[in-house]
Chains A and B, each alone.
Chain A
């Protein structure tokens, strides 16, 4: 009987502690999430300016049917170029990889920036992404992966491919 009581007590205490911790985190989340969202929005806006430096007016366009699930938003600049905001995951990552691509009206990648990625610091926020500049939908796959961070490189390459795919769809092309 005593053993059973101990077991029940253990379960109750652990459950209560979990509930209290959950409650505290929920309260914290309620006031930190708006601030986090706001700072992410600022980051996205800055990334649009970074990937399409010649443009300043961006309007968000509705995602076309069949757009890859990694595409979070697409913005069209006045000169007909597109900025694509993506969020993808590599096989081993615990967090999302945020990528923003700038694709010119001619279909070339003119700018790319890694807005968030919490793993593989060696991946480099600039070095590897910049190797994609100048590629188009037919040539992006030829860029080599980065030794030592193959999974992150592949996830990044897939994100670039998804950006080209959504722009093709927006221009009236067909999904592949």
Chain B
């Protein structure tokens, strides 16, 4: 039951795009067409699963002080691996994703899950989390791309929808349209998950990736502020 919860968490309740608001850059850039969205989602999911597994395996070996550089090296390694394989065997898709494929390295979802989940859980659970979060990311991209492509371009996955040709709203395929659709979908998900989505306390100091470094400074700052106030 716990494993099923880990897997389904990323789909809606803790959707990385619409609830955690992570990975906004690739979401806005790659949601112009459904094909692009699926390709980006699958590439990010592959990297997410592999990096979560690797980081979970290494969690007892990696010293706390160098964990972020270690995670970045592991993630960058997997992204480069996916890039090489895609360029060799799926060149059209590789061209389509362009520079955004390499930018998966700095996708907050991947580093965020490594820090928040993979380094505290077992390999199996981390793989499930990667799969769930990846699926959530892919579904979010597909949902956004569907709205933008169908209404903005009058097509779905590159196939023209005849009766929509005279009713297109081209701004939806442009960056401002991306933000507009993004906002509307976040509002929709918030409405659907009312009371179920993680509350603000989940985003507190404790769950921040920099908590271990920052908390000490926060305490010091508060003390200084109190002294100054007195």
Interface residues of A (CB under 8 A from B): 6, 9-10, 13-14, 17-18, 21, 24-25, 28-29, 32-33, 35-36, 39, 94-95, 116, 118-119, 121
Contacts and interface: CB of A to CB of B under 8 A. Distances in A.
A95 B95 CA distance: 12
Interface string B51-91: 00000001001110110011001101100110011011101
A17 B58 contact: yes
Contacts of A118: 95, 98-99
A25 B89 contact: no
Contacts of A21: 73-74, 76-77
Contact of A13 (B63, B84, B85): B63
A35 B88 contact: yes
Given A32-B85, A36-B88, A14 B99 contact: no
* Size class of the B contact interface (CB-based, 8 Å): 20 to 34
B188 interface: no
A33 B77 CA distance: 16
B77 A94 contact: no
B66 A14 contact: yes
A72 to B, nearest CB: 18
A9 B63 contact: yes
Given A21-B73, A94-B102, A119-B98, A39 B66 contact: no
A119 B70 contact: no
B87 A32 contact: yes
A174 B58 CA distance: 61
Given A13-B70, A24-B81, 6 more contacts: A10-B66, A13-B66, A17-B74, A25-B77, A28-B84, A39-B91
Nearest to B71: A17
B84 A25 contact: yes
A28 B85 contact: yes
Nearest to B75: A21
Contacts of A33: 88
A118 to B, nearest CB: 5
A29 B84 CA distance: 7
A53 to B, nearest CB: 23
A39 B98 contact: no
Nearest to B91: A39
Nearest to A18: B73
B228 to A, nearest CB: 33
Contacts of A24: 77, 81
Contacts of B70: 13-14, 17
A17 B72 CA distance: 11
A25 B79 CA distance: 10
A14 B81 contact: no
B87 A13 contact: no
Nearest to A34: B88
21 contacts: A6-B65, A13-B66, A14-B69, A14-B70, A17-B62, A17-B70, A17-B73, A18-B73, A21-B73, A21-B76, A21-B77, A24-B77, A28-B81, A28-B85, A29-B84, A36-B88, A39-B88, A94-B99, A95-B99, A118-B95, A119-B98
Contacts of B85: 28, 32
Contacts of B63: 6, 9-10, 13
Nearest to A7: B65
Nearest to B101: A118
A119 B62 CA distance: 36
Contacts of A29: 84
A9 B66 CA distance: 10
A13 B95 CA distance: 35
B73 A32 contact: no
Contacts of B66: 10, 13-14
Contacts of A36: 84, 87-88
Given A14-B70, A17-B58, A17-B70, A121 B98 contact: yes
